[in-house]
Amino acid sequence: MIWSTVILGLLGLYFADRLQDLFKQVRVAQRSGLPYVVSVFSPGIISMAFLDTPWFSYLVENWFPARLADTVYDTLINFRWRAKDRQARRYGDVYLLVFPGGIFCSVSDAALVTQIVNSRQSFTKPIHQYTVLDMYGPNVVTCEDAEWAHHRRYTATTFNERNNALVWEQAIKQSQQLIEYWHESQPNETRDSFVATDTRQDTLKFSLNVLTGAGFGVDLPFKPLPQNMLKSPDDIFKDSTPPPAGFDFTFRSVMSYMNEKITTVAIANNLLPKWIPRALVPFFKQDFAAHRNLEMYLQRLVDKTERELEETDKAHHLVQGMLKPRKTQDQETLTDREVISNLHIITIAGHETTATTLRFVFLLLALHPDVQEWMYEGLAAAIKGESTDAGIWDYGTVFPKLVTPLCVMLETMRLYPPVITVPKWTGDAARTIHYHEKDHVLEPGVNINLNVSSLHYSEKYWGSDVGLFRPQRWDVRNGDSFLAKNAGLPGVSAPGLEYPTIHKPVRGAYIPFSDGMRACLGKKFAQVEFVVALAVIFKDYRVELADDSKEGVEEAERSLRECTSILTLALRRNIPLRFRKR
């Protein structure tokens, strides 16, 4: 009885403290003059895990009033995409989300987005939110100011046209191997038809192979090699069974593990106090091993690349680009540890995101055969006169003509952006934003959410068909597109939209690669890889649902509606797809 009273008393004190803090945050919001909405949930791991339980998720979706459900989604980043632009339609393109412990300023106004990303000194990146990504030390994503400039100098220049040509070659080769792998995995199917039963693992393998080939100078096969085929010390990067001596993982498997289990790896290696004996936390054994193994592999990769650069002055892949300045510059370059940390961040950014976007586009094309045929017609026209063997296509000649696959990519990333929030914050000082001819002061410590999904679903920027999958809207030959009215406007070309063959949205309305100086460094890398994959696969095949019954279609559509985000927005279930020869 006494313990029950104590526990109830402590709970009462906790909730009273939370309520008091909520009232404090409301008063802060009121002083800004912006509309605000109150949430009883605080963003955090516990709240996200709670909502992720099937029963509570069902309750929110089916029993909560729409306004309350969207507020819950808006509060928790892993479900924020589900609210689309509905909160902005209720409260305006700029509003405050108030919760116990803090305030988010949600921004869905393109002009204000541009204002914020161009005000780097006032609205900085909240790097304290990125500790999960600096487990090997600072890198281009997790630091700011002079330290960020140092990292960017030696990482941004590695993403260039010479490297994009290498991406082109690798993506063609890996797309061809992917098709062959699908055939071999379905021995009972004919050469004219096969089912891809696990597109998640297949696209992850494809994107990792392209990344390691064009990024790290390591060619990975689709099928593991026997251990006795590893002849050279550098062959440890090849996918072998079992792993090389001294390693718990293969190079492929450790990078996959680090991406998929990044939260537990970060807890084990970043947050767990060093004084706790590792034997007392056996459930983290794999996480310790993965962290250690990846560092060992990446150090070997740095050493291998150093030897390569003793024999050549040219830098083709990304690791060569980071290390080459050591030979040509007297000023301080990246240390081995800094190179390793940046390579780790590149695997996170360039692995899961491309694979996930490919999964989305395969499913969308299967559900929209009309769009698939439109893409194919444009693709066929683009490669007319080219060799039937994509392996000898020239990057500089063919890539600029692949307009319809590029439009499909842009539209997929509009509806299903890999990152649904671009975070900024006011830092340790009050900051002023200019919105609707008024100045509004945001107090110190206010987090700013550049709301990607809300921007991408706004009729103001995309027209009344904003919720539909229509890649044709991007094609500059489509004069009826809502985007056509932006032709000739100054300053509309944004990261990833530099092509003359596509329509441009208003600057700030399309930010899947972020915007400004902190925009994604590998956007062209990703576009070349993605467009090549679509071109190589769909010049010969069409895709459809393996189960095209009414129930199968409903299941596929439901999987698109129920996406959630951890690091990137992703499908929660796997939908088997059938590819048929044209």
Give the CA distances from residue 112 to residues 108, 118, 318, 358, 512, in Å, rounded to whole numbers and listed in that order.
8, 10, 34, 31, 16
Confidence of residue 560 (pLDDT cuts 50, 70, 90): very high
Question: Do residues 185 and 78 both lie within one domain?
Answer: no
Asked whether the beta carbons of 411 and 471 are under 8 A apart, the reply is: yes
Structural domain span for residue 36: 2-118+423-454
Q: Is residue 558 part of a domain?
A: yes
pLDDT digits (tens, 9 = 90+) for 103-140: 999 999 999 999 999 988 899 999 888 888 888 999 99
Q: Give the model's pLDDT for residue 340.
A: 93
Q: Give the model's pLDDT for residue 325.
A: 87
Helices 145-156 and 336-367: crossing angle in degrees, nearest 10, is 70
Q: 10 Å Cβ neighbour count for 345?
A: 21
pLDDT above 90 as % of the chain: 55
Say how many domains are in the chain. Answer: 2
Q: Is residue 464 part of a domain?
A: no
Quick one: how many helices (H) and strands (E) in the chain? 23, 14
Q: How many residues does the chain have?
A: 582
Does 407 carry a binding-site annotation?
A: no
Q: Give the model's pLDDT for residue 14.
A: 64
> CB under 8 Å to 111, separation ≥6 — which residues?
508
The residue type found at 277 is P
Q: Give the model's pLDDT for residue 36.
A: 94
> CB under 8 Å to 96, separation ≥6 — which residues?
29, 32, 34, 35, 36, 37, 103, 104, 105, 106
pLDDT digits (tens, 9 = 90+) for 68-88: 889 989 988 888 999 999 999
- The DSSP bridge pattern shows strands 421-425 and 193-196 to be unpaired
pTM of the predicted protein model:
0.93
Q: Give the model's pLDDT for residue 12.
A: 67
Q: Is residue 290 part of a domain?
A: yes
Question: Do residues 223 and 262 both lie within one domain?
Answer: yes
> CB under 8 Å to 432, separation ≥6 — which residues?
439, 440, 441, 442
Q: Is residue 412 part of a domain?
A: yes
The residue type found at 350 is G
- The DSSP bridge pattern shows strands 94-99 and 36-38 to be parallel
Question: Do residues 399 and 441 both lie within one domain?
Answer: no
Average pLDDT, the chain: 88
Q: 10 Å Cβ neighbour count for 576?
A: 14
pLDDT digits (tens, 9 = 90+) for 489-513: 777 777 678 899 999 999 999 999 9
The answer, yes or no, to whether residue 25 has pLDDT greater than 90, is no
Question: Do residues 165 and 268 both lie within one domain?
Answer: yes
> CB under 8 Å to 410, separation ≥6 — which residues?
471, 474, 496, 497, 502, 510
Question: Do residues 89 and 167 both lie within one domain?
Answer: no
Peptide bond into 325 cis (omega under 30): no
Q: What sign results for the dihedral spanned by CA atoms 22, 27, 32, 36?
A: positive
Q: Is residue 294 part of a domain?
A: yes
Question: Do residues 209 and 292 both lie within one domain?
Answer: yes
Residue 133 per-residue DSSP state = G
Residue 422 phi, psi (nearest 5): -105, 110
Question: Do residues 407 and 434 both lie within one domain?
Answer: no
Indicate the SS3 state at residue 196. Answer: strand
Q: Give the model's pLDDT for residue 273.
A: 82
Residue 519's CATH number:
1.10.630.10
Q: Give the model's pLDDT for residue 44.
A: 67
Q: Is residue 557 part of a domain?
A: yes
Q: Give the model's pLDDT for residue 1.
A: 62
Question: Do residues 375 and 427 both lie within one domain?
Answer: no
State the burial class of residue 5 (Cβ atoms within 10 Å of its Cβ: 0-12, 13-18, 19+).
exposed
Residue 423 phi, psi (nearest 5): -85, 140
In a 13 Å sphere around the CA of 276, the CA atoms on its Cβ side amount to 12
Question: Do residues 401 and 444 both lie within one domain?
Answer: no
Alpha-carbon gap, residue 424 to 442, rounded angstroms: 12
Asked whether the beta carbons of 234 and 245 are under 8 A apart, the reply is: no
Question: Do residues 427 and 539 both lie within one domain?
Answer: no
Asked whether the beta carbons of 388 and 540 are under 8 A apart, the reply is: no
Q: Is residue 272 part of a domain?
A: yes
Residue 476 per-residue DSSP state = T
Residue with tokens 């929209």: 368
Question: Do residues 233 and 379 both lie within one domain?
Answer: yes
449-475 residues labelled b (16+ CB within 10 A) or e (exposed): bbbbbbbbbbeebbeeebeebbbbbbb
112-133 residues labelled b (16+ CB within 10 A) or e (exposed): bbbbbbeebebbbbbbeebebb
Question: Do residues 572 and 520 both lie within one domain?
Answer: yes
Q: Is residue 166 part of a domain?
A: yes
Mean pLDDT of 522-537: 95
Beta strands in 239-380 (DSSP E): 240-241
The least confident of 51-55, 182-186, 281-285, 380-384 is 51-55
Strand order in 94-99's β-sheet? 36-38, 94-99, 102-107, 447-451, 421-425
Confidence of residue 418 (pLDDT cuts 50, 70, 90): very high
> CB under 8 Å to 182, separation ≥6 — which residues?
194, 196, 202, 579
Mean pLDDT of 324-351: 86
The answer, yes or no, to whether residue 227 has pLDDT greater than 60, is no
